[in-house]
Structure 1
Amino acid sequence: MIVAIDGPAGAGKGTLAKSLAAHLGYPHLDTGALYRATALAVLRAGGDPDDPAAAERAARSLDTAILDSPDLRSAEVGAASSKVAAIPAVRAALLDFQRNFAHRPPGAVLDGRDVGTVVVPEAEAKLFVTASAAVRAQRRHQELQERGEASIYARVLADIEARDARDAGRADAPMRKADDAVEIDTSDLSPSDVFKRALAVIEAAGTS
């Protein structure tokens, strides 16, 4: 079974995906990390994330070992990843990798922005995990502070809203809820509650 989890930044889809993968015994792929890795490769090479040629080169020559880099979660890479993800040639270069991963037996859990709509629209279980921009900004603000990084809530909120607009407004594979996806709003839910709701959806899909 393929489990596709989509949603905006900070909604909790990554935490959910890891928990589900561990419970189901499936491998997990954070598809957003592929774009972060591409962005990091561009930055390390001294390139511009807005440069389509530089971004495509980085995507096509991507070394998956970079996925383990702690730099992947920096604010700079996060902003750059949204830019490279809006470049059609980058998305095309990374699409085959994602699809091959998804179809490995016995199954897989993938999370991102367009997993259920573009990467694997044939996924048996689709979830759209979301939360209000204010809640997501507060989570990110707290995460940055706990890591010892300087953070201003208003700036984090502005960044979240700008990223949402880019992700939903890009011409190629915009972020949206698949017609057959089940939406889970995590604004007022604990990770445990989100997991239970998601697992119920997956179990129902497995018996349908």
Structure 2
Amino acid sequence: MNKITIAIDGFSSTGKSTVAKRLAKALGYIYVDSGAMYRAVTLYAMQNDLIKKDCFDKQQLIAQLKDIKISFKFNEELGFAEVYLNGQNVEKTIRTLEVSQFVSQVATVSEVREQLVFQQQNLGKDKGVVMDGRDIGTVVFPEAKLKLFMTASAEQRAQRRYDELIERGDDVKFDDVLKNVQSRDHIDSTREDSPLMKAEDAIEVDNSNLNLDEQFELIYNLAKDKISESN
């Protein structure tokens, strides 16, 4: 049976990664979290004092891109691949609100995007991949057989993100999470290089009123239909 490439784009905290992981597992495909790659670069920048609340040394980050090695290693216990930055497991660290506050700024740097898009295209060159992010269907895999664009209200997305962080034990306030979601929406949608936008042939999925199972069933059926068409 022929395998296809599935691109899932959308706003932050729409559950792209959650459904993409589940979809990849159900189809026996490889899952790639492109957002985690940008988060890993952001964490590197933070660790090396290249980005702070009041400054961002883009040129130094660009100069050090060659020193940033990002990899994914499958964790059988968890059932998905975790992110490693220069050999260190950073899966939990990159999901913090602190990293979220800077990741959209880092993602605006053309040199960062160029390097990560190259890596992402290599990961998906043999198809049989589910990848989520901001520009997967428009830039990374414009020829993807199935493109999805996920959306929901900012308040709904902030509530989901807040619940997730609280469950992890993070000390956060809902208003701060909402402001972060709104700020990221603005930066992601207005950046010059590969702004967040719905591909012309993408199917929009508004999951504001869908639970995880309903959302998965909808997307899984769309994927099965596209796979059938390709055989």
Q: Would the TM-score normalized by the shorter structure come out above 0.5?
A: yes
| Displacement of 1:58 | 4.4
Match of 2:169, SS state, is coil
Correspondence 1:14 to 2:17:
yes
Identity over aligned pairs, percent: 39
- For residue 126 of structure 1, what is the aligned residue in structure 2? 147
Q: Select which of 64, 72, 81 maps to 2:103.
A: 81
Correspondence 1:207 to 2:210:
no
Correspondence 1:24 to 2:27:
yes
- For residue 55 of structure 1, what is the aligned residue in structure 2? 61
- For residue 189 of structure 1, what is the aligned residue in structure 2? 210
Deviations for 1:33-64, whole angstroms, at most 9, x for unmatched residues?
A: 11100011111122226322233244433222
Map 1:124-163 to 2 at 5 A.
124-163=145-184
Runs of 5+ unmatched residues, structure 1: none
- For residue 45 of structure 2, what is the aligned residue in structure 1? 42
| Displacement of 1:74 | 1.2
| Displacement of 1:185 | 0.9
Which one has a larger percent strand, Structure 1 or Structure 2?
2
| RMSD over equivalenced CA pairs, Å | 1.5
Is 70-79 or 9-18 further displaced after alignment? 70-79
Q: Select which of 116, 120, 126 maps to 1:94.
A: 116
Match of 1:40, SS state, is helix
| Displacement of 1:103 | 1.3
Match of 1:136, SS state, is helix
What letter corresponds to residue 91 of structure 1 in structure 2?
R
What letter corresponds to residue 99 of structure 2 in structure 1?
V
Following superposition, which runs of at least 4 residues in structure 1 exceed 3 angstroms of deviation? Answer: 57-60
Is 193-202 or 60-69 further displaced after alignment? 60-69
Deviations for 1:115-170, whole angstroms, at most 9, x for unmatched residues?
A: 00011101111111111101001111111211222222122111111110000000
When normalised by structure 2's length, the TM-score is 0.85
- Separation (CA, whole Å) in 2 of partners of 1:60 and 1:138: 37
Q: 2:100–2:180: 8 Å Cα contact kept in structure 1?
A: no
How many residues are paired up?
207
When normalised by structure 1's length, the TM-score is 0.94
Match of 2:51, SS state, is coil
Which one has a larger percent helix, Structure 1 or Structure 2?
1
| Displacement of 1:192 | 0.9
Is 27-36 or 44-53 further displaced after alignment? 44-53
Is 197-206 or 84-93 further displaced after alignment? 197-206
Q: 2:17–2:33: 8 Å Cα contact kept in structure 1?
A: yes
| Displacement of 1:14 | 0.5
Q: 1:36–1:77: 8 Å Cα contact kept in structure 2?
A: yes
Match of 1:184, SS state, is strand
